[in-house]
A = this chain, B = another copy of it.
């Protein structure tokens, strides 16, 4: 029962690197050390294999460092938010190579039914937790719409290092990479905390 999982892992890296169409079943089977017919035997066809790869990636999306959550009695909510940003940035930068992140990016560019489950099952909880952290770190004075704007802004500042990775690497000179996670994190955290002030001024004006 080993070849089936070997193919599943090989397919995940191949699909992440080259995409669905450019990733060939021969490439997958070579990397899995299996015969060409193994895909059609263990899975029905290439499309079914891809669907199972997405589900497998979705299940293993959260392994590794656990997401920081808002503690019951928040002493330093700003630092908790900074910790969350660090967790998110590391997660994004670390999933650069042959990982879940690139599969998800592909799903964003070309949404399928799998994205619906992904949104409600994996993204919604993360977004909700970020909302609670932002609410606490800002002093709880933001209205719901402004709070969501801040959340999306945070997500965007982190996400660009993953979605824009291919472009950042090709700029002259190349910009930020995996080794700059701490620098990026502290910069975003400082900017975000400052940004709360402007919203507070608008609210009190």
Q: Which residues of A contact B (CB under 8 A)?
A: 18-19, 21-22, 102, 105-111, 115-116, 119-120, 123-124, 127, 146, 148-150, 152-153, 155-161, 163-168, 170-172, 175-176, 183-184, 187-188, 190-195, 197-199, 202
Contact = CB atoms under 8 A, between A and B. Distances in A.
Contact of A21 (B21, B127, B152, B191): B21
A109 B111 contact: no
Number of copies: 2
A153 B157 contact: yes
Contact of A146 (B153, B156, B187, B198): B187
A115 to B, nearest CB: 6
A164 B159 contact: yes
A158 B152 CA distance: 10
A148 B170 contact: no
A153 to B, nearest CB: 5
B164 A155 contact: yes
Given A123-B171, A153-B188, 16 more contacts: A21-B22, A108-B109, A108-B165, A108-B166, A109-B163, A123-B167, A148-B176, A153-B187, A153-B191, A155-B160, A156-B156, A156-B161, A190-B198, A191-B192, A191-B195, A194-B198
